[in-house]
Amino acid sequence: MIKKILLSTAIITSLVSSAAAEEKWISLFNGENLDGWTVKFSGFEVGNNYKDTFQAKDGILSVNYDQYDEFKGEYGHIFYKDKFSHYKIRLEYRFTGEQLKGGPDWGIRNNGIMFHTQSPESMEIEHGWPVSLEFQLLGGLNDGKERHTGNVCTPGTHIILNGKLEKTHCMDSNSKTFHGDQWVTAELEVKGDEYMRQYINGELVMEYKKPIADANDEEQPAHPMKDGVPVTEGYIALQAETHPTQFRNIMLLDLSMD
């Protein structure tokens, strides 16, 4: 009996390893330039990488504020060129340096993976954030308090969380707090509007489902969807919200054939 159990375990392990080996992850970032990505800053036309905020060098996509004196509302996003519905995205991130002068308090060590977003071309000139879901990434403030990462925010949308329609803008995960400039791995699994699962360093920290459009969100000018419509697909974007941030190993696994 013991031999049979050991044999079964070996077979299962082999199958899992084979399946993992067959997964075809692709890189969304070439590590050298921003080819394949489109920038949109509040107050500027699509494609204007204001003050060279988004930079690519040595395998790192960074949010850089070296050319700024002070923040004046120039929230930015960088969008990958393709639209997705069923997929996993995984990347490493870390916060560096100090927040740009004039940035909001909530912007300290704050970034995010925006997904199921509208296209950058459909955003208004003064648009701050795309209609989307946000896998929020936060760093600890070294103040002795917990500050979870892997949270969810819902600009122009609502979600079902813990069995009920949730209209709160941002909701905390159960993750650990990560201080300093350490690299943290964030992974998101999306199945259309069926479910969204968020992982930090391999641990599931949040799960929700059935996002719908909130066309009554006052911070979303010219909302591109009718109120209550299911949000099932969209673009992926990274943020520039006043704190220097670095990203690397930005990988995607297409699950549309599963």
| pLDDT tens readout for residues 152-188 | 999 999 999 999 999 999 999 999 999 999 999 999 9
For 9, phi then psi, to 5°, come to -65, -40
Question: Mean pLDDT of all residues in the chain?
Answer: 92
Give 6's pLDDT tier (boundaries 50, 70, 90).
Answer: very low
DSSP letter assigned to residue 177 = P
Whether 15 shows a pLDDT value over 90: the answer reads no
Give the whole-angstrom CA distance, residue 255 versus residue 133: 19
- How many residues in the chain? 258
Whether 5 shows a pLDDT value over 50: the answer reads no
For 10, phi then psi, to 5°, come to -65, -40
What's the pLDDT score for residue 98?
Answer: 97
Give 221's pLDDT tier (boundaries 50, 70, 90).
Answer: confident
In the chain, the amino acid numbered 175 is S
What's the pLDDT score for residue 215?
Answer: 93
For 223, phi then psi, to 5°, come to -55, 130
Phi-psi region at 104: left, alpha or beta (left = phi > 0; alpha = psi -120 to 50)? beta
Structure-model confidence comparison of residues 132 and 6, the more confident one? 132
DSSP letter assigned to residue 220 = -
Please give the helix or strand (H or E) that residue 246 lies within, else none.
strand 245-254
Give 248's pLDDT tier (boundaries 50, 70, 90).
Answer: very high
Whether 12 shows a pLDDT value over 90: the answer reads no
> Tell me: the pLDDT tens digits for 52-110?
999 999 999 999 999 999 999 999 999 999 999 999 999 999 999 999 999 999 999 99
Whether 237 shows a pLDDT value over 60: the answer reads yes
Whether 4 shows a pLDDT value over 50: the answer reads no
Give the whole-angstrom CA distance, residue 138 versus residue 245: 11
pTM for the full predicted model: 0.90
In the chain, the amino acid numbered 244 is P
What's the pLDDT score for residue 163?
Answer: 95
Whether 32 shows a pLDDT value over 90: the answer reads yes
For 22, phi then psi, to 5°, come to -85, -10
Task: Read off the pLDDT of each residue in 38-51 and give the average, rounded to a whole number.
Answer: 98
Give 258's pLDDT tier (boundaries 50, 70, 90).
Answer: low
Task: Return the ∠ at Cα 241 (arms to 201 and 134), rounded to 5°.
Answer: 50
Give the whole-angstrom CA distance, residue 236 versus residue 82: 8
Contacts 24+ apart (CB under 8 A), 55-60: 56/29, 56/30, 56/31, 56/32, 57/32, 58/31, 59/31, 59/248, 59/249, 60/31, 60/246, 60/247, 60/248
Structure-model confidence comparison of residues 6 and 33, the more confident one? 33
The pair of structure tokens assigned to 75 is 């929230």
